[in-house]
Amino acid sequence: MAKLTSADPHHWVPIPQVLTCLESKFAGSRVLDVGPGHCPLPWATASIDFVDVPGAVNLIKCDLTKDPLPFPDKSFDFIYCRHLLEDSWNPFPICEEMSRVGRAGYIETPSPIAELCRGVDGGSPHYRGYHHHRFIVWEHDGKLLFVSKYPVVEYLALEQDRLVSALRQGPRYWNTYYLWEGRIDVQHRQSPLDFDIGRDYPVLLKDAINQSVNATNAFWKNMPESNAIASLPQSFAVV
């Protein structure tokens, strides 16, 4: 079965074209970097994380899973949050808090393609996606959708060759890209309220892949031409 190998580029760091575009619009504003981790945003005016982060600008320490952000309502013009929400056991209070303190923002997570492709994690292991991620996250119709990443993903008959092919094209389909204004529109797809795991989960993931591809193509289509990355056919499926 196809998978990424250690010889393939693994696009884990911020994409320069995206950063350049965001910086051109929001640098000089009041910018909060939420969860800077290994890649602090250099043009942020404040940062927040639960651990010390070398290079983070004006870092404040806070447990984002349970504590409110220590800022007044709408005190930031722009909030940058990259590769944080999929790690959290409960990302929804964080989204509410970012909506409260920010006027607009950008959220990036791994895409459903990356979370369902084998060989994505460090060392190109056989399992799907990243071992420590709890959610699959994607955009559809302006909403940021979440579904738990259940262990059964290892046994689904995905079209693995197409997932690998998409990720080998470059960084474009490695991520979910979500720009928001006013508030973050979150939808949490839960079992058994919204679907049955045994019957509906494979179909839901197929929809997540296809909807993610469409949203990603729309995001890059609206990027300045100098920042563009070539698109791919929108044909992915779960069998």
Instruction: Classify residue 117: in a domain, yes or no.
Output: yes
Q: Give the pLDDT of residue 36.
A: 96
Question: Could you tell me if 189 and 211 are in contact, meaning their C-beta atoms sit under 8 angstroms apart?
Answer: no
Count of domains for the chain: 1
Per the DSSP assignment, residues forming a β-bridge with 31 are: 78
Instruction: Classify residue 237: in a domain, yes or no.
Output: no
Chain segment 128-181, per-residue pLDDT in tens: 999 999 999 999 999 999 999 999 999 998 889 999 999 999 999 999 999 999
* 106 half-sphere exposure, CB direction, 13 A CA radius: 19
Mean pLDDT of 106-127: 97
Q: pTM of the predicted model, to two decimals?
A: 0.95
Instruction: Classify residue 191: in a domain, yes or no.
Output: yes
Q: Give the pLDDT of residue 238.
A: 47
Instruction: Classify residue 236: in a domain, yes or no.
Output: no
Instruction: Classify residue 232: in a domain, yes or no.
Output: no
Which helix H or strand E contains 21, and what residues bound it? Answer: helix 16-26
Q: Provide the domain limits for residue 31.
A: 16-227
Per the DSSP assignment, residues forming a β-bridge with 179 are: 106
Residue 128 DSSP class: B
Instruction: Classify residue 239: in a domain, yes or no.
Output: no
Instruction: Classify residue 180: in a domain, yes or no.
Output: yes
Q: Give the pLDDT of residue 229.
A: 80
Instruction: Classify residue 2: in a domain, yes or no.
Output: no
Q: How confident is the model at residue 232 (pLDDT cuts 50, 70, 90)?
A: low
Q: What is the CATH number of the domain that holds 202?
A: 3.40.50
